[in-house]
Structure 1
C-alpha cells in the first residue's frame, strides 16, 4: 500500500512537471500542487481516453494520457484562478 502511494506521488510529480514545462509562462505552484496536478491529470486523461475509445470506466491513464490530462487541468486552473497571464 505504501509502495502504491509513493508510486502515485512520483507519477503525479513527473506528469505535473512535464505539464508545467509544456504550458508557456511561469507557474507559481509548489511541489504539492504539482503532484496533485499530475494525479488529477491522470484521471482527466483517462476520462478523455474513455471518450475516444468507448470504455466507460473512470481510471487513470498512461503516461501520455496523464501528461495531456495534466496540461488540460493546468490550463483550466490558470484560467479559473487568473494566476498566469501570458504577455504580462
Structure 2
C-alpha cells in the first residue's frame, strides 16, 4: 500500500510536469499546484483505468497523463471564469 502511494506521488509529479509541458501557450499555474493536479490526475487516471478493467501499465500512464492535463485545463477555465 505504501509503495503504491509513493508511486502515485512520484508518478503524479512526473505526470503534472509532462502535462504542463504538453499544454500550449503560457501557463500561469504555479509548479506546486501543477504537481498537486498531476498527483490528483494520476490517482483519477489509475482509479478509472482499474475501474474499467485496464491493467496495462502504458495505458494506466496514458490515462493519468490525460487526467492531469484535463484537470489543469478545467482549473484554468474555472479560474478564468471567476476573473
Q: Detail structure 1 runs of 4+ shifted over 6 Å in the superposition.
A: none
- CA shift in 2, pair 1:9/1:45, >3 Å: closer
Cα offset for 1:5?
Answer: 5.4
- CA shift in 2, pair 1:5/1:46, >3 Å: closer
Gaps of 5+ in 1: 56-60, 84-88
* TM value normalised by structure 1: 0.64
Instruction: Select the structure that is richer in helix.
Output: 2
RMSD, aligned α-carbons: 2.7
User: Is the CA contact 1:13–1:31 (under 8 Å) kept in the aligned structure 2?
Assistant: no
SS of structure 2 residue aligned to 1:15: helix
Gaps of 5+ in 2: 54-58
